[in-house]
Structure 1
């Protein structure tokens, strides 16, 4: 069974979802700039390490960044 978690969704072209497939975490990031990117992780710490690097130069507010990171931690 696959569980889907929406991390953020600004509109139908800018969103991030995490699918939990057994022990595997699949992050699907859709942007109007790059299209769809898919990242597969075997552990939550691996996913969080990627997220810290991915959002290192986040151009939103501190509250938005905190909400995204908290949503990822709750997956």
Structure 2
């Protein structure tokens, strides 16, 4: 049985204290959000649809505090996981 490393994706990284990374572990997806405001939060999803649902709620367009381009880049990064 061959061991394949987990696939990692950086959704965004503003600095070493504000970032969001996703690690795909087979059918399991582990999302780690690090913030200078809240610390580290870890979310586990079984499959991509659950992660995309979380992302659409976490980064709701009407509540996003950034530009349209920043929001679109984050959503595109999630879709590429």
> Same fold per TM (> 0.5)?
yes
Residue ranges of structure 2 left out of the alignment (5+ in a row) = none
Deviations 1:4-45 (A, max 9, x none): 111100000000000001110111000000000000000111
* Unaligned runs of at least 5 residues, structure 1: none
2:34 to 30, 35, 60: 30
Aligned length: 75
> CA RMSD of the aligned region, Å?
0.6
Runs of 4+ in 1 over 6 A off after TM superposition: none
Structure 1 partner of 2:23: 19
